[in-house]
Structure 1
Amino acid sequence: MASYTEATKRLLAATSERAVRLLRLAFFLCADLSCLRSIGHAVATAAAGSGRSEPSAVDLTLWTEPRRSRCIEEHAALYGRRFASFLAACPSAFGCLTGLTLRSLKLADPEVRDILSTCARLRELCLKYCGQPTAVAERLVLRIDAPSSRLVTLRIVGCFFSGIELVCVPRLARLVVETWLGDDDPPLRFGHVPWLHRIRFRLSYQEPFALSNWLANTTSISVLDLDFKGEMVWIQLEDAKFLAPIFSNLKELHLQEIFPGCDLKWTLLYLEAAPFLNSLYVKISRHICGLNRLQCIAEKTNLLREARDFKHHSLNYVEIQGFQPEQTLISYTRLVMGRAVNLKRIRLRCKDECERCDRVRERAGAPMRSAWSEEEKNLVRAQIVRGFSPSSIELIMDDMDLVCIDNWFLVEI
């Protein structure tokens, strides 16, 4: 950190005659507060730009233990105190931040309030493995009440809170919650979030709950991404009329990592409840490499629901990843085609490449998966489009590698 501090000071000193437009730094919360102060002073000086316009982005990522994704409680508390000292010692540096990523800190309401009050320009906040890694009963609810904040994106990954309450975050537009480590109840409570329109929720296990209750105060959602990590589907079936007010503005729906063999008729419930939906993405989990380290012990039960007869007039694009020539998937594709009267294109992405899965197959002496032949594709196409006008819907089958690029929440408002 001493070498990093000197290098940072020299690098940023060279910007004294030029306006800084973009600055991103990542470093450890070391025990030497003087190093942190030096970096903070250099950042504040560079961002000030000698009276010129403010930088478009100043992002800090603060690490704790190297090669450790999570800290024990004692370490998390130590790094929490170090961060609090750094924040108090360098208000000018934090005042110019637009992005902040914190990892493995003991964090609760007061610290978050200090962050949002000190970081007046903050637009993106990412918390990874923060909170209190103690018994669930002893964990605190993270309560964010920041009516004057500029926060646009909030990302919470593997955090140890018993719940999150977004009381008042008026500019929040994008929310990501991944690998929740709290209670069995839905971890989020939405208050005043009028601009919130992009949500991603990724869990491997959660006591099933009704989306209509959980999203009751969010009527501006345009993009919803639910990732089940190849484990149980943690949503309750409910009538579409209860979801209709919430999905009245929904344009794009992602239902990801659904376990193989799951009956997909329940997904039509969301199509029925979202009259203005344009795009539907369904991904079947085909991994055999154990990507999800938190193995779920909950039973993977089908959500049985008959597909009601209705017509959808806005859906024009459907994509199914991890598609295989299984009768359930062929029947599901035909069901969607029958409901969406203005559907223009269906894309079936068949080949789900994963280097880890290939290594597992290689160690087991199993044959590697190969691309489909044109004959096989034509046979599946014929089964899907039978009875439909051949020119009305473009049906694409490809063997492109499926690379998960989590960039949907980066799209500008």
Structure 2
Amino acid sequence: MTSTHTPGDPGSSAARRKSSSCQQDDEDTSSNSHLNSLSEDVMHHIHALMPMRDAARASCVSRLFLSSWRHYPNLTFSMKELGLIRQEGTEDERALILISIIDRILRNHSGIGVKTLKLQLPRNWKTLDSCYVDRFLETAIAPGIQEITVMLPWHSYCKTEYNFPCSLLSGESGESIRFLTLTNSSFRPMAGLGCLTRLHLRSVRIGDDELGFFLSNSLALRHLQLIYCGEIICLKIPSLLLHLRSLEVFECKMLQVIENNAPNISIVDLVVNDQVDVSLSLGYGSSQVKKLRISSAFASYGLCKLPSIAPGLEALNISLLPHERVSTEMVPGKFHHLKFLNISLSMALEAYDYLCMLDFLDASPALETFILWSARISKSYGRIDGELSHLTRMQEFHHGSLRNVTIHRFCIAESLIELTCRMLQHVSSLERLTLDTTHGYYRCSSSRSGRCFPMETFAVREAQEALVAIRKYIKPQVPCNVELTVVEPCSFCHVSDN
């Protein structure tokens, strides 16, 4: 007997589809019921934990997330974040696409609830229209915002200089700002920011008085970074900044005076134009400085005065010009607490006497790590002829704390080899010695490009000569308890003309 099914029969395909559809509706209703039972604050919190692109997609497919999207707190706009890195077209065409997307997103955002705003426009964009940036900032900067980052095109490319609208930081909108990062713009603040803890300015036009006024009214500041800020001539850090812990100044070309009065600063990083004689005063806060980096413009200051005015110094990075030598006269005191020392030498036109480093090591009895970047010699000076003179020179030197020594750009300069052998013979605490015959930068095994840092052919040849010298003069001096690591040019990335 053949069985038949009526349209309403549970056994029919139509009935099965209807049953399946009803079951799915019940599951969706149940799922939505669970989501609907969550409070609005919980929904906003869940949505805020998503990356911005995922949060935007979620708002398109779920009514539950659509309303919270208008209050999404972390707005990050960049070519990478919005997936436009591989977009076809010129830099300006891709920038206009980015602007269009940002505009569309912000039109659907209330501006309420924003905690973080990061706006990064293509650095090579030539036709920036400031009205777009103004409109974006006006929408996003609202009461409750905590972090603002505005990275605009380079001055060398963009024809228009952007004036940051400081009026947006006044009133309630500025009361919650903790981090402020600006690049490639003019910043003329009319008031300070009471909760600001981190200020980063890069290629920003701001005058001495304007910066001083802003700092004096931003009393919670902990970190100050000034990079390529070309209008600053005299930088004065007010004593009112009791919470300031770190100061970084890099290549502000007009800078002539740095005067610190903040009493609790502990990290100072100063790299300025070597052609300018910069006056430096660390003030009363110098006794708290634990980490210091200074360029050659401050070298004589650092070597002559630091032992007495920064007695608690623990880490020192210093750059020296070729004519500057470390001597007992330049290091008259002791760095009693110094544990980390990094000395970098620039291009030399003649042989450098590396044995002068022994005076610096003598002045640092607690030193544990010593890193030396040897001078890049423009010609072949100091080549080794016959046996090394260190076999007969017996300058007194001993050290009982030094454990790690690294020498980058290791070359065949006789005094450098002699310095290395002297440390091997008279540093009883030495555990590791690294001799790097390359530039000391990234290797193909770790770089994004898959290539080592480039070396010219003559540099590769000199590195190979250094390897021969290491095998002949240094390896026989290495005690059994010292680990020797020799870094040589990568055979895949670097080929000598020999």
Q: 1:164 aligns with which of 253, 258, 270?
A: 258
Task: Please say if residues 59 and 99 of structure 1, whose CA atoms lie closer than 8 Å, have aligned partners that are also in contact.
Answer: no
- Tell me, yes or no, if structure 1 residue 91 matches structure 2 residue 174: yes
Q: Which residue of 2 aligns with 1:128?
A: 227
- Tell me, yes or no, if structure 1 residue 39 matches structure 2 residue 137: yes
Q: Which residue of 1 aligns with 2:343?
A: 255
SS at structure 1 position matched to 2:235: strand
SS at structure 2 position matched to 1:127: strand
Q: Tell me how far 1:391 sits from its aligned partner.
A: 0.6
SS at structure 2 position matched to 1:255: strand
Q: Distance in 1 between matches of 2:105 and 2:394?
A: 60
Q: Which residue of 1 aligns with 2:479?
A: 390
Q: Which residue of 1 aligns with 2:494?
A: none
Task: Please say if residues 344 and 392 of structure 1, whose CA atoms lie closer than 8 Å, have aligned partners that are also in contact.
Answer: yes
**Structure 2 CA distance for partners of 1:278 and 1:100, relative to 1, 3 Å:** same
Task: Please say if residues 12 and 46 of structure 1, whose CA atoms lie closer than 8 Å, have aligned partners that are also in contact.
Answer: no
Q: Distance in 1 between matches of 2:431 and 2:299?
A: 37
Q: Tell me how far 1:131 sits from its aligned partner.
A: 4.7
Task: Output the amino acid matched with 1:116.
Answer: L
Q: 1:315 aligns with which of 384, 402, 412?
A: 402
Q: Which residue of 2 aligns with 1:277?
A: 367
Q: Over residues 286-312 of structure 1, what are the superposed CA-to-partner deviations in whole Å (9 max), with x where a residue is unaligned?
A: 387xxxxxxxxxxxxxxxxx9852321
**Structure 2 CA distance for partners of 1:210 and 1:42, relative to 1, 3 Å:** closer
Q: Distance in 1 between matches of 2:463 and 2:299?
A: 39
**Structure 2 CA distance for partners of 1:181 and 1:232, relative to 1, 3 Å:** closer
**Structure 2 CA distance for partners of 1:3 and 1:122, relative to 1, 3 Å:** farther
SS at structure 2 position matched to 1:320: strand
- Tell me, yes or no, if structure 1 residue 265 matches structure 2 residue 355: yes
Q: 1:60 aligns with which of 149, 160, 163?
A: 149
Q: Which residue of 1 aligns with 2:23?
A: none
Q: Over residues 253-273 of structure 1, what are the superposed CA-to-partner deviations in whole Å (9 max), with x where a residue is unaligned?
A: 000134453111121111111
Q: Tell me how far 1:66 sits from its aligned partner.
A: 3.3
Aligned length: 344
**Structure 2 CA distance for partners of 1:324 and 1:197, relative to 1, 3 Å:** same
Task: Please say if residues 101 and 126 of structure 1, whose CA atoms lie closer than 8 Å, have aligned partners that are also in contact.
Answer: yes
Show the 5 A alignment for 1:136-285.
140-159=233-252, 160-170=254-264, 172-180=265-273, 183-184=276-277, 186-193=278-285, 194-203=287-296, 208-209=300-301, 211-213=303-305, 216-228=308-320, 231-234=321-324, 237-239=327-329, 242-244=332-334, 247-260=335-348, 261-285=351-375
Task: Output the amino acid matched with 2:174.
Answer: P
Structure 1, unaligned stretches of length 5 or more?
A: 49-57, 133-138, 289-305, 402-413
- Tell me, yes or no, if structure 1 residue 342 matches structure 2 residue 432: no
Task: Please say if residues 209 and 236 of structure 1, whose CA atoms lie closer than 8 Å, have aligned partners that are also in contact.
Answer: no
Q: Distance in 1 between matches of 2:308 and 2:108?
A: 49
Q: Distance in 1 between matches of 2:267 and 2:130?
A: 35
Task: Please say if residues 9 and 39 of structure 1, whose CA atoms lie closer than 8 Å, have aligned partners that are also in contact.
Answer: no
Structure 2, unaligned stretches of length 5 or more?
A: 1-95, 181-192, 379-392, 442-450, 491-498
**Structure 2 CA distance for partners of 1:400 and 1:45, relative to 1, 3 Å:** farther
Q: Distance in 2 between matches of 1:14 and 1:83?
A: 17
Q: Distance in 2 between matches of 1:377 and 1:209?
A: 36
How well do the aligned residues superpose, as a CA RMSD in angstroms? 4.4
**Structure 2 CA distance for partners of 1:235 and 1:68, relative to 1, 3 Å:** farther
Q: Which residue of 2 aligns with 1:102?
A: 201
> Percent identity between the aligned chains?
21
Q: Quick check: 123-132 or 96-105, which moved more?
A: 96-105
SS at structure 2 position matched to 1:39: helix
SS at structure 1 position matched to 2:474: helix
**Structure 2 CA distance for partners of 1:150 and 1:353, relative to 1, 3 Å:** closer
Q: Tell me how far 1:163 sits from its aligned partner.
A: 0.8
Q: Which residue of 2 aligns with 1:51?
A: none
**Structure 2 CA distance for partners of 1:14 and 1:105, relative to 1, 3 Å:** closer
Q: Which has the higher contact order (CA 8 A, sep 6+)?
A: 1
Q: Distance in 2 between matches of 1:235 and 1:379?
A: 25
TM-score under structure 1 length normalisation: 0.66
Task: Please say if residues 25 and 60 of structure 1, whose CA atoms lie closer than 8 Å, have aligned partners that are also in contact.
Answer: yes
Task: Output the amino acid matched with 1:112.
Answer: L
Q: Tell me how far 1:282 sits from its aligned partner.
A: 0.3
